[in-house]
């Protein structure tokens, strides 16, 4: 059950992030002021991919919630970071982001840290 919850958290998070990144870049710069959040909420309601990303987040959230109840937070948080690899590769291939040697090296350092954190 533990690993099923991890899998749901990881896949749903990766999907949500990819959809959001793609759609929010198209929607333009957003802010978190009171007016900015209201506008952001309207933007989310009007864009299919953002609505879908929220649905994915909901799956990810409830799976994560069940995970943190049964496992230590210091296990649940790092292990759910497996979405990291999936998302970085997809960001390069699907979103056409420039993941050069420096960004890739930094990302691998962070990933190494997250794996070590889970020990």
By the criterion CB under 8 A, which residues form the site for other proteins? Answer: 1, 5, 17-18, 20-21, 24-32, 36-37, 40-41, 44, 57, 61-62, 65-66, 68-70, 72-74, 76-78, 81, 84, 87-88, 91-92, 95-100, 102-103, 105-117, 119
Least gap, CB of 37 to other proteins (angstroms): 5
Structural tokens at position 99: 């993941």
Least gap, CB of 11 to other proteins (angstroms): 16
Are 47 and 23 within 8 A, CB to CB? yes
Half-sphere exposure of 99 (CA within 13 A, CB side): 16
Angle between helices 48-70 and 2-27 (to 10 degrees): 150
């Amino acid at each position: 059950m533990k690993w099923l919850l991890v899998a749901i958290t990881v896949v749903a998070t990766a999907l949500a992030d990819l959809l959001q990144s793609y759609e929010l870049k198209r929607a333009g710069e957003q802010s978190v002021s009171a007016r900015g959040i209201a506008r952001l909420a309207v933007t989310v309601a009007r864009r299919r991919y953002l609505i879908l990303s929220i649905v994915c987040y909901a799956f990810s959230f409830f799976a994560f919630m069940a995970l943190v109840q049964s496992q230590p937070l210091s296990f649940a948080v790092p292990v759910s970071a497996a979405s990291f690899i999936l998302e970085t590769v997809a960001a390069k291939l699907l979103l056409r982001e420039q993941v050069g040697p420096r960004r890739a090296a930094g990302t691998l350092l962070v990933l190494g840290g997250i794996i070590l954190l889970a020990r």
